[in-house]
Structure 1
Amino acid sequence: MEIYLIRHTTPKIEKGICYGQSDIPLAPSFELEAQKIIQENTFLDSDCLVYSSPLQRCRLLAQKLFPRAKIVYDNRLKELDFGVWELQAWNEINPSELQVWMDDFVKIRCPKGESYTDLNHRVIDFKQSLKINTPTKIAIITHAGVIRAFLAQHNNIALKDSFQYKVPYGVVTVIS
């Protein structure tokens, strides 16, 4: 089985804004970015089981990449819930509150939000729901945090070390 983890394309939001589970639109470059993904990935022509975060930045890309597929939208594939920090500028968040979280973002929850461990549990639950022995291809259109959690689990590394994985917008990461 091959799993294709596809990060959404560039969102339409100012740099420096915390936007985890906020349902923000895509940048005007969406069509060009989506075409680049299509041109560079032959697996898109094959039959895949397709899963996506329901947030529009993933949903619209899933529909563009897999126009004939039955896409399953799954809340477990959403980005980290930053709670009360959603849509705030990072530099405007209370510095002492932010520092507590940054010192142990794996275990500490954002105020009224999630920790990275919470996100990781969602990913584990999602993976367990897949038919692991299925000889098929699975495409998952999702967010950087979810992709890093998948990679940490797959490569057996600590969550705190998963930020070594660079996950640019529109990138496809393959797990076999």
Structure 2
Amino acid sequence: MFTIWRHPKPQGAEGRCIGGRTDLPVDPRKAKRLAHRIRAHARRHGLPRDVVTSPLARAADVGRWLQGWGFRWRVDATLAEMDFGAWDGRSWRDISQQEFDRWMADFGGFAFDGGESLSQLITRAAAWQPQCVLAVGHGGWINARLWSGGKPTPADWPMPLAYGRATSAPSAA
């Protein structure tokens, strides 16, 4: 088992499709606050001072804080959020209903015009071999790692974990 936290809320994400191509900052105080919670969790459970994060700033900033407090911090691109291709960074208002309907018609297989499909994300997340028991990642990636429901549909895809919250996941999916 490993514990993965969703990064703090990024600045500038409101109303936008944000994935692995859009690297948004987080408030440094929120990154530090999450790092404190991770450090306390490690201490409370007698875990090694070792953390891996996504390379995106909204997760990596937490790793930097932990590194400054003596943690071994590694970055793993496999933990990056889903690549929304040409949609990434765009305002949801600028994505036409026709484009959105294309996605809903092929929820698991739609590759976002140059990005990756949800099925590809699920495969990437399932194949990840944790380098340690503490990680910081993204809501979509975490859902993909925990997914065990067969072919995903819009109706059964879960809401993402709240910002700064943690969940435990099996080390071998």
The TM-score with structure 1 as length reference comes to 0.80
- Equivalent in the alignment of 1:58: 59
Q: Distance in 2 between matches of 1:167 and 1:76?
A: 19
Q: How does 1:125-164 map to 2 (within 5 A)?
A: 125-127=127-129, 130=130, 138-152=133-147, 156-158=148-150, 160=152, 163-164=157-158
CA contact (8 A) 1:53 1:141 kept: yes
Which ranges in structure 2 are unaligned for 5 or more consecutive residues? none
Q: Distance in 1 between matches of 2:151 and 2:166?
A: 20
The alpha-carbon distance between structure 1 residues 112 and 39, as it changes in their structure 2 partners (threshold 3 A), is closer
CA RMSD of aligned residues (A): 2.4
Query: 2:164 matched to 1:170?
Result: yes
C-alpha displacement of 1:70: 2.1
Which ranges in structure 1 are unaligned for 5 or more consecutive residues? 132-136
Task: Write the deviation string for residues 138-167 of structure 1: whole angstroms up to 9, x where unpaired.
Answer: 111100011001211xxx323626632541
- Equivalent in the alignment of 1:25: 25
Q: Distance in 2 between matches of 1:49 and 1:158?
A: 33
The number of equivalent residue pairs is: 163
The TM-score with structure 2 as length reference comes to 0.81
Q: How does 1:100-139 map to 2 (within 5 A)?
A: 100-127=102-129, 130=130, 138-139=133-134
Identity over aligned residues, as a percent? 25
- Runs of at least 4 residues off by over 6 Å: none
CA contact (8 A) 1:9 1:33 kept: yes
- Give the secondary structure class of the aligned counterpart of 2:42: helix
Q: Distance in 1 between matches of 2:35 and 2:65?
A: 10
Query: 2:90 matched to 1:98?
Result: no
